Structure 1
Amino acid sequence: MTAHASDIAFEETARVTPRVYSPAHILKSDDEALRTAQSLAERFALDAARRDSERILPFAELDACSGAGLWAMTVPREYGGAQVSYATVARVFAILAEADPSIAQIQQNHNSAVFWIWKTGNAQQRSFFLGEILGGARFGNANVDVGGRLPSGSAMTITPERGGFRLSGTKLYSTGALFADYVSTIGQDQEGRRTVAVVPAGHPGMKIIDDWQSFGQKTTASGTVIFEDVWVPPLNVLPIHQSYTLWPQNAVTQISHVGIDAGIARAAIDATIAFIRERDAASSPSAIPPLGADPYVIHELGELTTRLHAAEAMMDRAGREIDRCLADTGPNSIAAASIAVAQAKALTTEIAIEAGSKLFELAGTRSTHPSFNLDRHWRNARVHTVHDPVRWKYAAVGNFYLNGVRPSPTGQT
C-alpha cells in the first residue's frame, strides 16, 4: 500500500448531494455482460494513458459502466438481475482492467457489496439495496482503519443508539467512495463481530478526502473517509461477519483482484507486441535484424503468452469453483473455492508484474520514452498486486493439499 502523506495539502472533496443518474440498463445474460464490458473497454482504452499521466478521475467512464448495467451483473435473478457466473465476473474485470485497471478496481468493492447484501441482509435490506444497485447505484468502501486493525478487530464500533446505530472513525484506502452513492464501512458490534454500516453519499458527518497518492493505479481515488458522529437507521447496518463464516466472501472478493491482474498482464503483453511491430515497420533496412525476428524475443513472448493463458484458465476455474460453492455451500466447498482463487491469484500476480517489466526488455530503449507512458502497466501491476498480497497464497495452498488445513474464512488466503 502507498502512504497518505499527512504533510502535503490535498484537495478535500465531500459529496454534498447524492449523484443524479438515469435508471441503468438491466443485463439479461452472461454473454451480454461480456459484450458490454468489451464495448466499454474499447472506449476506455483510448484515453487510459492520458488519465494516468494527468490523473483525470474517471467519473464519466464509471457512469457509463454503471449505466450499462455492469455494476449490477451479480444481482440475483429473484431481484431482477442477471446473476452472472463468477467465471464471467472474473472475465469482465479482466476486460475492463486491460483497458484501465483503475476503473476495474473501483468496481471491485462494489461487487463484494452485492454479495454480502444478498447473503447477510434481511428481506427489507435485500429488497431495498439490491433494487438500488439494479437501478444504477454504486457502492464504495471505507474499511481500513488508520494504523491498521486492532488485535480485537476494527477500531471502529457500530453502536446501537436511538433506534439506529452510531459510528465514528477514520478510514484509509477507501476505493470507490468518492464516486459512490453509498459508502460501506466495516466496524465491530458490541460482541466484537464484523459489522458493516452503509452511509449514503452526502450524509451528515461523512467527509471524503481525495488524498490518494501512488505511482500506479493513480485514478482509483482510494483516499480517506472520516465519519464524525454518524447515525444510520437499522436498514443500513448488516452482519457482514456471516458472509465470511457461512459463505465464500473472501473468494468472491478476491476473484475480482484475479481478473484485474490478468487484465493488466494482457495489456502489457499486447503493448509489447504492438510496439515491436510498429518499431519494425518504421525502421529502415539495416544490418540489424528486426526485433520481430530475434529468436530470444520470440521465445520470451511465447513464454509470457503461455503463462498468461495458463493464469486465465486458472481464473476461469476459480470462478467455476465459486459457482459450485454457491450451489452447495459448506466448509469444504468454501475452502475449495478459496484455494482455487488463491492459486489463480498467485499466477495472475506473477504474470502481471513480469509482463510489465519484460515490456521494456523486449521492446527496447525507445519504449521507455515518457510520451508512450508504457511504464503504467508495470506501475499498475506493482501497486495493485499489493492490495491482496500473494505471499500467503502458496502457503495456504500447500497446507490445504498436504495437511488438509482449510484456509481461515475470515483471514487472508
Structure 2
Amino acid sequence: MSLTATSALSDASPAKRIESDQEALDVARALATEFAPGASQRDRDRQLPWAELEALAASGLLAITVPREYGGIDVSASTLGEVSAILAEADSSIGQIPQNHFYILEALRVDGTEAQKRFFFERALAGDQFGNALSEIGTKTVSQLNTTITPDGDGHRINGRKYYSTGVLFADWIVVFANDPAGKITMSFLPHDTEGLTLVDDWSGFGQRTTGSGTTIIDNVRVEAESVVEHHQGFARPTTIGSLGQVIHAGIDLGIARAAFAETLDFVRNRARPWSDAGVDRASDDPLTISIVGSLAIRLDAATALLAESGRLVDIARHSLAEPDVIAATIAVAGAKVLTTEVALAATNTLFELSGTRSTLIEENLDRHWRNARTHTLHDPVRWKYHVVGNWVLNQVAPPRNGAL
C-alpha cells in the first residue's frame, strides 16, 4: 500500500497520547492491575488476551518509543525496560508481545527512510500494533533465514514460512524479515489481511502460552518497494537496535521473577508450614527460609539496578552512536540479561522449595511462573553473554553486531 494513503486506515478510537516517562510507568501499573487477576486462567485455558491487547494499544504505551520529531516522547531505555517488567509481572505473555513491536520501531528509526518513518510512526501513535515474522526452524543456525524477497516489477515478492511469530495474531501490521538476492536481511511491513499471508495459531510451548507465537506463512506475497526497510544497514555500523531489544527481554524476565517472588512471600506467610526441625510455629520464621528470601531479594534488587544502568548506557549510545558507547551499552545489557535470566529461574524454582508440596497442585497453577521463565529465557543463550562480556573485559574483543546483543 502507498505510504501516503494514511486516510485508508481509520481509527475508531485513537490511542491516548502519553506525555512523559512517569506517565508511561503509571499507565503500565494501572494496566497491570487490570491484567493480573485473569493471568492464571488465561494461561490455564490458553485464552488469548484479545481484550487486554486492545486496552494496551488504546493506552498509548505502544507509542512511547516514537521519536519526538515524529510526535512521540521517546522514553528512556530504562523506562522501557521497567514498563516491560511491570506488564510481565502481571502477565508475562502480555509483557512479551510488545517486545517485537518496540524492536521494529527502533529498527525503523535507525534504518527507515523519511517517508517510512513518518507513516509508520504515525500508525504507532494511532495505536497500531506491529508483530514480527522472523524466526524459522530447519536452518543451520537460528540467525539464518530461508525466507526470500525478490524483485517483481516496481515491487517485490516474499515467500517463506516463519515460526515463533510472537504477537502476529494481534497485530495490525506483520513485519516479515527476509533475505534479498544478495543475502541481506530486510523488513517488509504488511497489513495483517494481505493476500497470501496466513497466520496460524499453533504455538504449543508449555510456557508463554498466550503470546500468539504461531506460524506465519508467506505465499508469494506482493509488497511495495516503499514498505521494505533495509534492516541489514543497522548492523553495518554501531547502533543500539539489538541492545534496546535485549533491555526489553531482560525486563520481561525481571517481571516474571518479581511475580514468582511475590507468590513466594504470600504462600510462605499465609499457607506454608514450617519444617519440623526449625522449632518455629510459622514458616515465615524459619531461619533458613528467611535467609533464602533475603538472598533472592538482593538478587532482584541487583538485577533491577543493572537493568536501569544498562538502559542509561543505551540512551547515551543511541544519541552518540560512537562505537565505544555502543560497546559499553552492549556489555551492560548482556550483564543485565544474565542477571534477570538467573533470578527468574531462581525465583520460580524457589517458589516451590519454600512453599512445599501444596504449591505444586494443578489448581494453584503456580508452575506457570517456572514454565514462563524457562520458556522466555531460552530466547537467546546467556552462556554466550558471559562469553561476550569476558572476551571484551579480557581481550578487548568487541561484541558482534546482531539483534541478540
Amino acid at match of 1:364: G
Q: Percent identity?
A: 46
- 3-state SS of 1:158 partner: strand
Distance apart, 1:152 and its partner CA = 9.6
CA distance in 1, matches of 2:31, 2:264: 23
Please name the residue that 1:176 is paired with. Answer: 167
Please name the residue that 2:269 is paired with. Answer: 277
Amino acid at match of 1:210: D
Q: 2:327 aligns with which of 335, 340, 349?
A: 335
Q: 2:339 aligns with which of 329, 335, 347?
A: 347
Tell me if the contact between 1:21 and 1:136 (Cα under 8 Å) persists in the aligned partners: no
Amino acid at match of 1:261: D
* CA-to-aligned-CA distance 1:85-142 (integer Å, 9 cap, x gap): 0000000000000000100111000010111111111111000001001100000011
CA distance in 2, matches of 1:130, 1:86: 18
Amino acid at match of 2:124: I
Instruction: Assess, with a 3 A threshold, how the Cα gap between structure 1 residues 99 and 151 changes in structure 2: closer, same or farther.
Output: closer
CA distance in 2, matches of 1:239, 1:136: 24
Runs of 5+ consecutive residues of structure 2 not aligned to the other structure: 1-8, 274-278
Distance apart, 1:244 and its partner CA = 2.5
CA distance in 2, matches of 1:50, 1:182: 28
CA distance in 2, matches of 1:361, 1:220: 28
Q: 2:352 aligns with which of 360, 368, 379?
A: 360
Tell me if the contact between 1:314 and 1:343 (Cα under 8 Å) persists in the aligned partners: yes
Q: 1:44 aligns with which of 18, 35, 52?
A: 35
Instruction: Assess, with a 3 A threshold, how the Cα gap between structure 1 residues 292 and 227 changes in structure 2: closer, same or farther.
Output: same
Please name the residue that 1:3 is paired with. Answer: none
Amino acid at match of 2:158: L
Runs of 5+ consecutive residues of structure 1 not aligned to the other structure: 1-17, 282-286
- 3-state SS of 2:189 partner: strand
What is the root-mean-square deviation of aligned Cα atoms in Å? 1.8
Amino acid at match of 2:66: V
- 3-state SS of 1:113 partner: helix
Amino acid at match of 2:336: A
Amino acid at match of 1:345: K
* CA-to-aligned-CA distance 1:195-226 (integer Å, 9 cap, x gap): 11111110000000000001110001101000
Map 1:203-214; keep pairs closer than 5 Å: 203-214=194-205
* TM-score normalized by the length of structure 1: 0.92
Tell me if the contact between 2:164 and 2:213 (Cα under 8 Å) persists in the aligned partners: yes
- 3-state SS of 1:334 partner: helix
Q: 1:122 aligns with which of 113, 126, 129?
A: 113
Amino acid at match of 1:198: F
Please name the residue that 1:10 is paired with. Answer: none
CA distance in 2, matches of 1:409, 1:359: 37
Instruction: Assess, with a 3 A threshold, how the Cα gap between structure 1 residues 239 and 218 changes in structure 2: closer, same or farther.
Output: same
CA distance in 1, matches of 2:143, 2:217: 21
CA distance in 2, matches of 1:176, 1:167: 20
Q: Say yes or no: does 1:147 pair with 2:138.
A: yes
Amino acid at match of 2:364: F
Report how many residues are paired. 392
Map 1:10-89; keep pairs closer than 5 Å: 21-89=12-80
Q: Say yes or no: does 1:307 pair with 2:293.
A: no
- 3-state SS of 1:226 partner: strand
Amino acid at match of 1:51: R
Map 1:92-171; keep pairs closer than 5 Å: 92-148=83-139, 153-171=144-162
Please name the residue that 1:244 is paired with. Answer: 235
Q: 2:221 aligns with which of 222, 227, 230?
A: 230
Distance apart, 1:191 and its partner CA = 2.1
- 3-state SS of 1:171 partner: strand
* TM-score normalized by the length of structure 2: 0.93
Tell me if the contact between 2:133 and 2:168 (Cα under 8 Å) persists in the aligned partners: yes
CA distance in 1, matches of 2:167, 2:80: 18
